């Protein structure tokens, strides 16, 4: 039975029993305590806590889940996976233990012809919590399970919570006996490989507090109503019904594993004589690839994109682990173009959207692999040399934090990969030191931004203002001016009663017309005035939801708490902001019109007259394509398309095709901005023009890469667009005048000039090479002897690498030599074969002379040119005696 059919039967079974079928929530969890949905009940958590009234008494779902704690264990056993699907049925104050047990038993044991799973009742076991006599009696007396197949277990096994404060309660698990081939008799207490857990029935009665582990937490009290939360592992049930051993062999995973085995020439299970706990490394790596490729497909499908933090980092990590696992299996070519389509075909029967959105999904995945292959080329050699040096030094067997940080910061080498590779060489990594260096860097980077956003004020102070006065009456859509009252003033992180001329402070008003920076749109500019005070508005933010805070510079008089003021947005500023934000939507629609639906926005920024838009795409846009996009945008401007704003429930917005920014969370009711109806339809909270013609013009000024699989378009609008085109016109006129050529002949004239300049540069380089060759021979003759090593050190205004190579090649026969050259291109050290035989490595000398910076091979290495060239050259000389073998 295919996994998609297992899923369909589950939902149909519970729908027939009065349950509302609820679609899976996206994997990114709308919960501050979680990165991803990690259990089937997570989307229903507010109902179980009584925070929100459930819109139904009974529900059923098949929820996509991610558990990141098991990433390092994936593949080592056949039970760990990052992505899995949890079938669940839920009751919110309706039925409880008896019906939950009966519903589960009926589906498991009913014949397949009648729509069930057809499991043999004699092979099913039940466990209950230690003192749950009610559940024990139901299994024994209502279902008829013999007492010898009902097991009481403790809190670690049969008491459920999400691992964080929230709903909890005793549970009852159902196990399936896979037979003596899988282990010992005696039930799940004896062997959970043979007795596989297939269903967990949680009797949600209590709320737990903070704590650690599965049992160390307080019970805060009973929930408002008794609830049922059950979870049946879809992959586990599919494995049983398909007659395979584990989740890696079911129809949604095995095709990926088989494709990876075919590409690498490996035979999965060839070494199956070993126990599961001692899987052959090849089998482990094939399982890692199968799990991670499928997980990446599902994460990108739900809007997660590779990044250096949070959810994006988890995705980046699993993509890179799958690529590296294939390299360790001997496959060096690009991996994902071969395997991701296989994952798509395996998952599409259950999730058609992965096929529908595959162009977008694959663009992110392939771009990330391409970037990682570059990272591996640049970083692996440096890491290997650092590990070699650490092993030779024998200093506790730990790679220095500074080296790990340099690999991460300079080459993009992720710390987990550094740890993994070091572990394979028997070395530790100073991870604590690495994290401290990372934290220090982040603290420096965030200092200026934090000052801009909140003036260093504690958000708790802002929240107290919100609690005392309610949310700001925000009127940015309705008006550009309001009569307001000052509710609070903050300076240097604390509250003050007044602000005087020249001071920069944060001001909270009871109502405001100012747009607060959000959705990519910069905040409004303007002023706050009263008869005795003027203040310039520099920035507007929402440090806590519902509260608008203005950063202002008092330019005259004194501004005080409780003072009536007049808040006024700069009309020209808002006009330019509207043009730019509507222009962003127009450029996005134009990109999709020219490139196709995969060119989805992944980020944006706009201010008056300027916009930039990041979108998913691999490869630079040609000049012709840029012109097409620009023309499509300006055609939309000329057509004077109406700009309409509507409010509607989020599901309705999705149904009509409104585009949302992936990774963002939205309220239940959303604001939909349409330009020309369906031509441009997006969820957006920004300010816009009334008709597209009011944008004025769109001129694309640049297009560039902002990361693997992402491009950035920059453009100017309105008056800035006209000014840009005027400057371009004037520039062309000046060039035409200087070259004394008609405009249409300029490209050919400039090409000819460039070719002439290149030819002259080649001739100049030839002459420099001849001079360098003469220098090389003389320098080799004058070499300094250090313990039998010829050491030649010099500086040059030319090519340091070229000069170093020529000197090395000019050293007479067989004499060990080290050459160090400081030039405009950097600090270069090279060694000849005789020197390397005596234990000297150019990479080691460069890194030691430059205090850990730089890298290369034992033959030639390079670093940044030092401020004191003579001192650096002397350090190399001092290092040579200690490095001789």
| CA–CA distances in Å: residue 264 to residues 74, 331, 340, 367 | 19, 6, 16, 22
Rounded-to-integer distance, Cα 546 and Cα 10, Å = 42
End-to-end CA distance of the chain: 66
- 585 is annotated as contributing to ligand binding: yes
- 168 is annotated as contributing to ligand binding: no
| Strand locations in 480-562 (E) | 481-491, 494-496, 498-500, 504-509, 511-512, 526-530, 533-544, 547-560
Please answer whether residues 852 and 862 qualify as being in contact, where contact means their C-beta atoms are separated by less than 8 angstroms. Answer: no
Task: Tell me how many degrees the CA angle 382-385-389 measures, rounded to the nearest 5.
Answer: 140
For residue 259, what is the enclosing H or E element? helix 254-264
Q: Are strands 680-683 and 669-675 parallel, antiparallel or unpaired?
A: antiparallel
> b vs e for 395-421, b when ≥16 Cβ sit within 10 Å of the residue's Cβ?
eeeebbbebbbbbbeebbbbbbbbbeb
Give the contacts of 680 (CB within 8 A, at least 6 positions apart).
585, 586, 588, 589, 636, 673, 674
Lookup: tokens for 269: 């299970």
- 588 is annotated as contributing to ligand binding: no
Place of tokens 């934290």: 439
Mapped onto helix, strand or coil, the DSSP state of residue 112 is helix
Q: Are strands 481-491 and 504-509 parallel, antiparallel or unpaired?
A: antiparallel
Rounded-to-integer distance, Cα 261 and Cα 245, Å = 18
- 710 is annotated as contributing to ligand binding: no
Give the contacts of 435 (CB within 8 A, at least 6 positions apart).
none
Rounded-to-integer distance, Cα 859 and Cα 630, Å = 50
Closest CA to 567 of 540, 529, 536, 534: 529
Lookup: tokens for 358: 């595959």
Rounded-to-integer distance, Cα 172 and Cα 230, Å = 9
Phi and psi for 662 in degrees, rounded to 5? -60, 140
Rounded-to-integer distance, Cα 141 and Cα 144, Å = 5
Closest CA to 405 of 434, 430, 375, 383: 434
Place of tokens 């030094």: 393
Q: Interhelix angle for 310-328 vs 254-264, to 10°? A: 40
| CA–CA distances in Å: residue 786 to residues 217, 326, 810 | 68, 46, 18
Please answer whether residues 828 and 821 qualify as being in contact, where contact means their C-beta atoms are separated by less than 8 angstroms. Answer: yes
Among positive and negative, which fits the CA dihedral 358, 359, 365, 366? positive
Closest CA to 51 of 31, 65, 69: 31
Please answer whether residues 834 and 811 qualify as being in contact, where contact means their C-beta atoms are separated by less than 8 angstroms. Answer: no
Task: Tell me how many degrees the CA angle 470-471-473 measures, rounded to the nearest 5.
Answer: 120
Please answer whether residues 634 and 697 qualify as being in contact, where contact means their C-beta atoms are separated by less than 8 angstroms. Answer: yes
Q: Are strands 533-544 and 526-530 parallel, antiparallel or unpaired?
A: antiparallel
Mapped onto helix, strand or coil, the DSSP state of residue 689 is coil
| CA–CA distances in Å: residue 594 to residues 245, 389, 504, 582, 634 | 48, 53, 46, 18, 13
Mapped onto helix, strand or coil, the DSSP state of residue 304 is coil
Rounded-to-integer distance, Cα 811 and Cα 788, Å = 13
Q: Known binding site: residues?
A: 581, 585, 684, 688
Q: Which residues are annotated as a binding site for Zn(2+)?
A: 581, 585, 684, 688
């Amino acid at each position: 039975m295919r996994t998609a059919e297992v899923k369909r039967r589950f939902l149909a079974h519970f729908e027939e029993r009065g349950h509302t079928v609820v679609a899976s929530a996206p994997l990114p969890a709308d919960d501050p305590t979680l990165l991803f949905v990690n259990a089937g009940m997570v989307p229903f958590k507010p109902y179980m806590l009584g925070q929100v009234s459930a819109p139904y008494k009974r529900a059923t779902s098949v929820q996509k889940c991610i558990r990141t704690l098991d990433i390092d264990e994936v593949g080592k056993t056949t039970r760990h996976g990052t992505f899995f699907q949890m079938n669940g049925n839920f009751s919110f104050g309706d039925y409880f233990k008896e019906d939950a047990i009966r519903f589960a038993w009926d589906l498991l044991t009913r014949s397949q012809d009648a729509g069930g799973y057809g499991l043999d009742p004699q092979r099913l076991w039940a466990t209950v919590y230690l003192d749950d006599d009610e559940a024990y009696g139901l299994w024994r007396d209502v279902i008829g399970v013999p007492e010898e197949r009902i097991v009481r277990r403790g809190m670690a096994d049969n008491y459920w919570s999400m691992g964080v404060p929230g709903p909890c309660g005793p549970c009852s698990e159902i196990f399936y006996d896979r037979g003596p081939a899988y282990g010992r008799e005696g039930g799940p207490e004896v062997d959970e490989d043979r007795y596989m857990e297939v269903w967990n029935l949680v009797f949600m009665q209590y709320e737990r507090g903070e704590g650690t582990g599965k049992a160390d937490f307080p019970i805060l009290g009973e929930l408002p109503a008794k609830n049922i939360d059950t979870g049946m592992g879809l992959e586990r049930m599919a494995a049983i019904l398909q007659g395979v051993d584990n989740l890696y062999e079911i129809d949604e995973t095995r095709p990926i594993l088989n494709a990876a085995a075919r590409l690498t020439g490996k035979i999965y299970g060839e070494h199956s004589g070993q126990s599961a706990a001692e899987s052959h490394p090849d089998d482990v790596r094939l399982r890692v690839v199968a799990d991670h490729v499928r997980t990446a497909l599902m994460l990108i499908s739900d809007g997660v994109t590779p990044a250096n933090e949070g959810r994006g980092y988890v995705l980046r990590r699993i993509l890179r682990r799958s690529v590296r696992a294939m390299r360790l299996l001997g496959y060096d070519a690009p991996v994902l173009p071969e395997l991701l389509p296989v994952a798509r075909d395996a998952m599409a029967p259950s999730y058609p959207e992965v096929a529908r959105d595959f162009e977008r999904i694959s663009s992110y995945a392939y771009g990330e692999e391409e970037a990682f292959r570059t990272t591996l080329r640049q970083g692996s050699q440096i890491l290997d040399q650092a590990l070699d040096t650490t092993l030779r030094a024998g200093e506790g067997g730990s790679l220095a934090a500074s080296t790990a940080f340099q690999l991460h910061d300079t080459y993009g080498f992720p710390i987990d990969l550094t740890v993994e590779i070091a572990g394979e060489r028997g070395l530790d990594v100073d991870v604590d030191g690495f994290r401290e260096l990372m934290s220090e860097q982040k603290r420096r980077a965030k200092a200026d931004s934090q000052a801009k956003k909140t003036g260093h004020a504690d958000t708790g102070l802002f929240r107290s203002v919100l609690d005392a006065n309610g949310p700001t009456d925000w009127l940015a859509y309705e008006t550009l001016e309001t009569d307001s009252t000052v509710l609070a003033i903050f300076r240097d992180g604390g509250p003050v009663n007044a602000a005087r001329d020249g001071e920069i402070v944060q001001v909270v008003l009871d109502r405001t017309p100012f747009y607060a920076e959000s959705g990519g749109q910069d905040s409004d500019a303007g002023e706050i005035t009263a008869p005795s005070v003027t203040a310039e508005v520099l920035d507007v933010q929402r440090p806590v939801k519902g509260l608008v805070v203005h950063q202002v510079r008092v330019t005259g008089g004194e501004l005080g708490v409780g003072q009536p003021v007049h808040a006024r947005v700069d009309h020209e500023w808002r006009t330019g902001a509207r043009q730019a934000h509507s222009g962003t939507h127009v450029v996005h629609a134009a990109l999709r019109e020219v490139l196709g639906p995969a060119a989805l926005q992944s980020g944006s920024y706009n201010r008056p007259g300027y916009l930039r838009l990041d979108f998913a795409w691999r490869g630079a846009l040609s000049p012709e394509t840029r012109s097409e996009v620009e023309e499509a945008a300006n055609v939309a401007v000329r057509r004077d398309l109406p700009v309409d704003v509507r409010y509607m429930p989020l599901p309705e917005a999705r149904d009509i095709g409104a585009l949302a920014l992936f990774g963002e969370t939205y309220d239940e009711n959303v604001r939909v901005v349409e330009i020309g109806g369906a031509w441009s339809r997006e969820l957006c909270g920004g300010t816009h023009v009334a008709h597209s013609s009011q944008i004025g013009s769109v001129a694309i000024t640049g297009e560039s890469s902002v990361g693997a699989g992402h491009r950035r378009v920059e453009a100017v609008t309105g008056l800035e667009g006209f000014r840009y085109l005027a400057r371009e016109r004037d520039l062309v006129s000046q060039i035409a005048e200087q070259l004394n050529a008609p405009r249409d002949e300029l490209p050919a004239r400039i090409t000819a000039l460039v070719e002439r300049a290149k030819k002259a540069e080649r001739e100049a380089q030839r002459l420099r090479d001849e001079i360098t060759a003469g220098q090389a021979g003389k320098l080799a003759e004058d070499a300094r002897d250090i313990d039998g090593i010829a050491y030649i050190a010099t500086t040059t205004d030319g090519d340091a690498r070229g000069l170093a190579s020529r000197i090395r090649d000019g050293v007479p026969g067989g004499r060990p030599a080290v050459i160090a050259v400081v030039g405009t291109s950097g600090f270069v050290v090279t060694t000849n074969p005789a020197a390397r035989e005596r234990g000297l490595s150019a990479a080691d000398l460069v890194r030691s002379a430059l205090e850990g910076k730089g890298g290369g091979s034992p033959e030639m290495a390079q670093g940044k040119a030092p401020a004191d060239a003579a001192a650096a050259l002397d350090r190399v000389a001092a290092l040579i005696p200690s490095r001789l073998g």
